[in-house]
Structure 1
């Protein structure tokens, strides 16, 4: 008799399980902030070149760009003659003496001049932070098996406190990036331990509810890299992927969700709205999104819910290409809608994926799936750099990938009201039975189209 069956026999969730979920969920409120921290610590204020030290006291004239606004990355070599029109005439040069920022608030951008040719470093810092989350999974997964879940969870919180403080007081960008990388590793350890403890101590019948509870506290709704440490040595994984190739579509859904999610979550500054208000809206939309997702997966099914959520998110991201930057309200509404769909997609994926994999490989499957979500979130900041070529290119990439992930979800098996598979053979039989049922249904439809013969 399994642990879940014993809990079901004695009444399923009791005071211990509720206390357990609460103690796991409350600390997650803090770690969720780190994933989106750079929205506030790396905002780019309005800026222009600092005049040379030997410049006159007269107002320094700035060259104008193609949009008619002052250039942010160029200045005149010499102050234009007063008789000349105030435009781009005259030789220009890069900002050799730094920049002047129209802001009183310090960020890593103003601290280390991450603008113009150095603005890629800001996106790289976020990407390296996400890489820390990716690396932390197998490291802390192995440690939690050697030393236990509780010690690793405690150590991860201490490491997060130390690395977060170090990032706050970093004297240079390289030091800041190192500490942010360690923050990512510790967050991965916390999330990994939280997921494992949730799976080990909460009965199957209540696992979806408890996972959703933790997901509400962890506003980005993700549990990171559970069971990844076993993904490489368990060669039986090959048997599963060989006999059931449709799991590729599950991984594609995970990748596209993480990829598109962070394109919107980290793009708050791009919509021209107060970033604090918009972030509150972005966080608040998760609550109704998760409620709607729970209702949808309970009545419409996992496959339909997952597919349509990604398709709607991809459509919203692509629609942003055709909306003018002056229409801030419409752009914001599209972004909030897309972000809510992606948040619901994460909630659906965690439940859906745990039901697709058999018990002997469930943690491994969840770990591998989360790897692809983290790869997507790590690549997303780098894709934003392509916006320097054409502003619409990032949205084309993000939206197209979300559409591909949504389309892939429709090739998965439906798990609503189905028993959880225990072994690889159960999955194989399930897949064969589904295929057989589909063939029989098609044959029945075909037989109904054959015209009846008249009697001789």
Structure 2
């Protein structure tokens, strides 16, 4: 059998050799993988926009009791109305109550105000100096109903959790492409339903399906990309696929600034998703999945298409594909015993149980703080659009510093430092005096930078800590716990309203520092051979293993996916 190699790509299989993997046929890296990567980067934009858009759909805007609809108050300015009818709570006007006002004429002298009695607002007026329309105004999400905004974001995050449980199994059963197409359809339709929602309930349900669709789309396409490239290219392609998230983060405040209207903002972040319909023509089924299902004719058709794109040739393609299938069957038979390990094995032995519980907590803390800071930039001093942009911009240096730290300082110290410094930075926002609010924002952004780096660290650390037989299960459990943290995160804002505005950042700081104290309980995995069996994993934590040349992690989990 002869496989010819295009000179343009120098990392391919030699001309006359036994075919080991399907990527040996269509290329481990080439024009096809670049096309897929660009598609995923573009898909990352609406993914990030929908994840973080709530601060602009439901921003912190001022509101107060509406003036009565009678001619007596028509010529009264807003400030005159507030001074006349709205009591003060501290130094600010009340948002939810007004003095009991009676009037029986058409002149100001006919107005009777009982300053000893307040009544709840029947209707509200909103400050339109920064936003022309918000969902608070659209559906009266004020005062006692304001917590529904946080609930809507938690329900949105719950869509992630359902997507993890459903789409992963579905893509293994029916294929990557059908699941990607279905999730894309759900995401786009739900996006338009959210924009034109007739009620808040419909809006929340639509947002849930947006999360379910886009999370399933990204996760499945990420797996597809990892299956379609060589092992030596998985790390950088995985990292590159997250560029769309970072670009989306820094462009979202620009979209919100230009629209200033919740309906237009939702519409603008939904329409670009239609460009992903190109999936129908550009991205075929995963050839690796087709071979795993022994769909030989379809696999041959797809591989021929990819070979043409990457300019590869094979003298006897059907025989090469059959050879790959036969090798795969043999490997499955040899690995049958290893496949009995399951989630409970994470907690059976003392060493693995300790590491699993510590990693679960750190994942929870990381997602909890990341979304807590990202969704609450409106609470920081200064322009909300600029604050959000800065929070997104710090992702770029954070990820660069994270990878440099991993290269030169191992795993434990970078993770410990990011949690500790990030926690201290959040805590330092509390004593900042009122006239130095810019400093408070700076500390919060430093905390955001550190927690972004933590995401990079824990993906790699977790992949190296769990033995091969439970690695995917372990990282999957960690990701599930992280999603629970992101579901709870929006309600920290409500806790701050009920107690003190400093409470959220105080909580972020405390649990981050506490998490850093747990890091020393974990083993240093840098420069150690990765463990395969549960026995090797337990031995790793009871003895002093010899350091070796680090193995390449051939896992999608070594880079930070968008959906966290």
**Cα distance in 2 between the residues matched to 1:234 and 1:70:** 64
1:373 to partner: Cα distance? 0.9
**CA gap 1:220/1:64 in 2 versus in 1, 3 angstroms:** farther
Q: Alignment partner for residue 118 of structure 1, among 145, 152, 177?
A: 145
- 2:187 is the counterpart of 1:78: no
2:534 matches 1:424: yes
Contact residue 528 and residue 546 of structure 2 kept, 8 A: no
In the superposition, relative to structure 1, how do residues 282 and 5 fare at CA in structure 2: closer, same or farther (>3 Å)? farther
Aligned to 1:44: 60
User: Structure 1 residues 38 and 163 mapped into 2: Cα distance closer, same or farther (>3 Å)?
Assistant: same
1:205 CA drift (Å): 4.0
Question: Once the 2 structures are TM-superposed, how far is the Cα of residue 305 of structure 1 from its aligned partner?
Answer: 1.1
For residues 297 and 106 of structure 1, do their structure 2 counterparts lie closer, same or farther at Cα, with a shift above 3 Å needed?
same
Q: Which runs of 5+ in 1 are unaligned?
A: 223-232, 438-456
Partner of 1:453: none
Alignment check: 8 A CA contact 2:29 2:229 kept: no
3-state SS of 1:196 partner = helix
Aligned counterpart, 1:444: none
Structure 2-normalised TM-score? 0.69
> 1:160 Cα deviation (Å)?
0.8
Q: Distance in 1 between matches of 2:532 and 2:23?
A: 18
Q: Secondary structure at the match of 1:91?
A: strand
For residues 82 and 408 of structure 1, do their structure 2 counterparts lie closer, same or farther at Cα, with a shift above 3 Å needed? farther
Give the one of 107, 116, 126 matched to 1:90.
Answer: 116
Secondary structure, aligned partner of 2:521: coil
Quick one: which of 20, 29, 32 aligns to 1:14? 29
Structure 1 SS opposite 2:235: helix
Answer with 1 or 2: which has the greater Rg. Answer: 2
1:280 to 364, 386, 389: 389
- Aligned residue for 1:260? 369
Mapped to 1, the partners of 2:509 and 2:20 lie a distance apart of 43
Q: Provide closer, same or farther for how the CA distance between residues 391 and 141 of structure 1 changes in structure 2, counting only shifts above 3 A.
A: same
Tell me the residue number matched to 2:480: 371
Residue number among 49, 52, 56 corresponding to 1:33 in the alignment: 49
Q: Report if aligned partners of 1:152, 1:193 keep a CA contact under 8 Å in 2.
A: yes
Partner-residue secondary structure (3-state), 2:92: coil
Q: CA deviation at 1:309?
A: 0.8
1:5-404 pair list within 5 angstroms: 14-15=29-30, 16-54=32-70, 56-57=72-73, 58=76, 59-60=80-81, 61-78=84-101, 89-103=115-129, 105-219=132-246, 236-243=342-349, 244-245=352-353, 246-387=355-496, 388-404=498-514
Residues in 2 aligned to 1:140 and 1:363: alpha-carbon distance in whole angstroms? 15
Question: Post-superposition shift, 1:262?
Answer: 1.0
Given that residues 251 and 369 in structure 1 are in contact (C-alpha distance below 8 angstroms), is that contact kept between their aligned partners in structure 2?
yes
Counterpart contact for 2:186–2:213, Cα < 8 Å: yes
Give the TM-score normalised by the residue count of structure 1: 0.84
Is the CA contact (8 Å cut-off) linking 1:208 and 1:351 kept in structure 2? no
1:323 alignment partner, SS class: coil
Per-residue deviation at 1:285?
0.8
Could you tell me whether the CA contact under 8 Å between 1:24 and 1:214 is conserved in 2?
yes
C-alpha displacement at 1:114, in angstroms?
A: 1.4
Q: Can you give the 5+ residue segments of structure 2 that lack an aligned partner in the other structure?
A: 1-18, 250-338, 548-564
- The answer as to whether partners of 1:63 and 1:88 remain within 8 angstroms in 2 is no
2: CA distance between counterparts of 1:275 and 1:65?
25
| Aligned alpha-carbon RMSD (Å) | 3.1
Cα deviation, residue 358, structure 1: 2.3
| Contact 2:419–2:450 under 8 Å retained in 1 | yes
Higher mean alpha-carbon deviation, 392-401 vs 156-165, is at: 392-401
Cα distance in structure 1, aligned partners of 2:149 and 2:504 = 16
* Aligned-pair CA distance for 1:234: 7.0
Distance 2:207 2:494 in 1: 20
Q: Give 1:238 shift.
A: 1.9
Q: Flag the 1:364–1:31 CA change in 2: closer, same or farther, 3 A.
A: same
Q: Residues 194 and 360 (structure 1 numbering): CA distance in 2 closer, same or farther, change over 3 Å? A: farther
Q: In the TM superposition, what whole-angstrom CA distance separates every residue of 1:169-204 from its partner, at most 9, and x where no partner exists?
A: 111100000000111111220232134234434444
C-alpha distance 70-394 of structure 1, shift in aligned 2 (>3 A): same
Return the alpha-carbon distance in structure 1 between the equivalents of residues 55 and 114 of structure 2.
33
Check the 8 A contact 1:65/1:88 in 2, yes or no: no
What SS class does the counterpart of residue 414 from structure 1 fall into?
A: coil
The equivalent of 2:551 in structure 1 is none
